[in-house]
Amino acid sequence: MGPGEIDFYYDLPNSRMVMNQHFPFAMMDWFWALGDDASSYTLNLTMNYSHCIPNRQSWNHTRTVYGFGWLEQATWIENTTVMGKHCASYAANSTNRFSWAACIDDYGVPLQFSMEADPREVGASMSGYLSFSLTLARSLGPAEEEAFEPSYACSHWPLPLCEYQGLRNFKVYRDTSVVTDTPAGQNVGDLRGQTMTACMYSSPYIAEYEVVVNSSYGQYALCNYISNDDRGNVCVGGGDAVGRAPWLHICHGKELCGQCTNNSDSGSWFSFPVEGQCKSGAHVGTDGCTWQGRLTKIVDYHCALGFYLKVQCATSLVFGQDALAAKFAANMAECPDMRPSENVVV
């Protein structure tokens, strides 16, 4: 994610901790509130302080992964010095899940700390945010109570559904390494939203889907493919409804952070929960289902995002996104469809 800062606040006797991440390069802030709370959620994640994504985890798991509980199973590596101070290096590994290393000084303060999260455990889109190598910049001293207060988004979760305005039929896009027949359990973007997303990330393919959705949108959920324990595509923080948010969760003062508003200025991201998917051939609304979708095209990423479009990506925030989205749409139409192809992982 590039250079950044992470502030940690610990109150382990009361089963609470906070991990506040700021990555300027990624244009994304994460506020991780970890601990037992009234909602019975252990991990309350806030994206850019706008969306709360609660996820139930045991406190023992949370303490082990994020609260240095892993030191109980760590191996001493060596005694060394960091920033001129003596410290003891330890390392631990949970196969295909997490690995940790830290250098702890004589007062129990970690002068260096690194963690690597395996995509098989947290999903490919989150492994980068949960993998870091840190050097202590400053000690903040005893944590004030306000440090553990839930974010505004989490104290108001869940958000109400949008007012129903009929069914909506449109196309969504996803840059991916594995193409599925539908966007079930996945995050996607509309034309403008995914154009900017594709500018930021690189994948082998861009999948195009045609979807029909119930316009009573819910809160955007964070979806990842978790291969460990055969969990598959998992969305957290939403419900049965299709979730919606502006690109990168940049709210610009919009009500409910763009869940129900016109997001033509930035484009929209969507989450398609498995729980809301209509059965094959069923109309949206049958038995309460909220969406139906089908794969319409698979395009090579480098065809859709050619060199000149990548140059436009770099200047789009200055010169506007209209031309960029139009070029992306033209490339998606002109690039050959890779279905069916034995070279595409489906």
> 30-44, 157-171, 205-219: which has the minimum mean pLDDT?
30-44
Question: pLDDT tens, 246-303?
Answer: 988 888 888 888 999 999 888 999 999 999 999 999 999 999 999 999 999 999 999 9
Nearest to 126 by CA among 237, 219, 42: 237
Question: pLDDT tens, 60-71?
Answer: 888 899 889 999
Contacts of 222 (CB under 8 A, 6+ apart): 45, 47, 53, 125, 126, 187, 235, 236, 237, 271
Question: pLDDT tens, 51-106?
Answer: 788 888 888 888 899 889 999 999 999 999 999 999 999 999 999 999 999 999 99
Does the pLDDT value for residue 39 go beyond 80?
no
Structure tokens at 24: 């300027």
Where along the chain do the CATH 2.50.20 domains lie? 5-155
Fold exhibited by the domain 5-155? outer membrane lipoprotein receptor (LolB), chain A (2.50.20)
pLDDT band for 128, please (50, 70, 90 cuts): confident
Q: Are strands 218-219 and 243-246 parallel, antiparallel or unpaired?
A: parallel
Report the predicted TM-score, pTM, of the whole model to 2 decimal places.
0.85
pLDDT of residue 38: 44
The CA–CA distances, whole Å, from 60 to 57, 65, 143 equal 8, 9, 21
Average pLDDT, the chain: 88
